[in-house]
Amino acid sequence: MRRLLLPVLALTACAPQAQPVQVWQGSGRVLLRDQSYRLTFTVNDQTHALRGVLENRTSGVKYLVDGTFLPVQGGAEVTAKVTAGDGAKLNASILGFGVSNVALKSDALLSGRVTGNVFDAQLTVNGVRYAVPFIRSP
């Protein structure tokens, strides 16, 4: 019986652990308009990879978030690319000249520091940085 128990314990130690979902609410003045956001993501504890969704609650648009959540003393540093994913694309032509597959939504960079239940974030869109502070939702 003891011989059987050791391999079972070794296998359960290697089993993937459930990653808790983190939900954050925030708002800021982005592109000259007040915007409300919900950030939902998971973090892989071994690789520190962050994956999730940033929802602009003002416009209803959802963006994919992919980056890192690196632990530092007193909190974590977040750096993540924000993309529109497979959103709408522009295809247009006039007199034989045109554009094809141009995304209508710009990609962005979300970065900042998490301390406790506060995420002091910067959202960089087209090279312009906007402060978007987030609070962790219960």
pLDDT in tens for each of the 138 residues of the chain? 555 445 544 545 555 566 799 999 999 998 889 999 999 999 999 999 999 999 999 999 999 999 999 999 999 999 999 998 655 554 566 766 765 655 445 789 999 999 999 999 999 998 999 999 999 998
pLDDT of residue 107: 84
CB 123 within 8 A of CB 130: yes
Q: What is the pTM of this model?
A: 0.75
- pLDDT score of 31: 80
Domains and CATH numbers, the chain: 19-136 (2.40.128.30)
User: Count of CB atoms within 10 A of residue 111's CB?
Assistant: 17
Distances in Å between the Cα of 5 and the Cα atoms of 16, 17, 19, 100 are: 19, 20, 26, 60
**Tokens standing for residue 24:** 């954050």
At residue 9, the pLDDT reads 46
Can you state the percent helix, strand and coil of the chain, rounding each to 5?
10, 65, 30
Q: Measure the CA–CA gap between 90 and 98, rounded to whole angstroms.
A: 10
